[in-house]
Chains A and B, each alone.
Chain A
Amino acid sequence: MEDKLIRLAQKGDKKAMEKLLQRNYPILKGYLLKITRNEALSDDLTQEVMVRAIMKIHKYKPRGKFSTWLITIGTNLFRDKIRKDKRLVFDDSITKDESTNSLEDQVMIKESIRDINSIIQKFPEEKRMVFILKHYYGYRYDEIAGIMDCPIGTVRSRLHYCIKEIKNHVKDVDDDG
């Protein structure tokens, strides 16, 4: 289905392109929100990625998923943004969790998420991107290497670094509690 939409979009079908973007919007926005931790910045980047995708769709070669292409564009744009503006503000207060009933549970979960978020947020951007792509989106090492334009070994070591940091943090919190 997606292949057909891509072919139509490449022929200039606006409706097909619109459908492609609608299908992939949650993945793209979610990814950018996770790496930026900034609602306004992730909105701007999502918009910019969509604009680029519409303009360059005729050049797109379907090797993997369409979302991978969007995420690659998003990753590059985010890197450019960081390079241009090193004073970007990352916000850790955007997480919402309303699934539990008890207020006490809600507060505890929020605290725990905030803790984990603050750890993830402190990772250098490149490591954070690897962790997010692997943990939340289940991309393979080779796919992440393609998205981030780096060797597979680097992807693996970055992920291991993040996991060890989070694991140590969780362990510390449990030991304190």
Chain B
Amino acid sequence: MMDKKCTFYQNRLIDIFYEEDIMDKEIQEHIINCHECNKYWKELKEVKIKVDKDNEEIPIEYIKISQAFDKVEDIKSKRLNIINLVIFIMISSVLLGIGLVFAMQGFGREIIYFQVIVHTVFPIFLLIFVKIRTLKEDYNG
């Protein structure tokens, strides 16, 4: 007949089975003398045999590992794009703000002149920069 003591020992047996407790003399003697706990211990071993059959080997999937690196690169470049966009919006807002302040103080005409100069001179400089760059890189295309 199983009593409270057996329940206690059977709980300990599960811990011993999973190496979380040690099989001391007290429990060893109990298993020898108690038919229920002896049977319980044997059943635990049977559980191990039956469940372990499910432990199949998993091959290493190298492609999936390299795909993970690619995904990280994607995430990083998306984050960088967002940072660049935020910086662009901030700089544009500051410049627009400065422009508005000047316009409100009566420098509207000067701002228009400045815009015209920038829009005509800058592309010319850009062409020179591109030319220098292609010469440096020895670009034949």
Contact = CB atoms under 8 A, between A and B. Distances in A.
B64 A140 contact: no
B123 interface: no
Interface in B17-75: 17-20, 40, 43-44, 46-48, 50-51, 53-62, 64-69, 71-72, 75
B14 interface: yes
B110 interface: no
B18 A25 contact: no
B60 A170 contact: no
Secondary structure at the A interface, as helix, strand, loop or mixed, is: helix
Interface string B93-135: 0000000000000000000000000000000000000000000
A47 interface: yes
A25 B65 contact: yes
B59 A159 contact: no
A94 B102 CA distance: 72
Contact of A136 (B50, B55, B68): B55
Interface string B5-18: 00000010011011
Given A116-B54, A117-B54, A140-B20, A163 B14 contact: yes
> Chain B: interface residue count, which band?
20 to 34
Interface of A: 14, 17-18, 21-22, 25-26, 29-30, 33-34, 43, 46-47, 50-51, 54-55, 95-97, 109, 112-113, 116-117, 120, 134-136, 138, 140-141, 156, 159-160, 163, 166-167, 170-171
List of 3 A-B pairs having minimum Cβ-Cβ separation, nearest first: A50-B68, A26-B58, A30-B58
Interface of B: 11, 14-15, 17-20, 40, 43-44, 46-48, 50-51, 53-62, 64-69, 71-72, 75
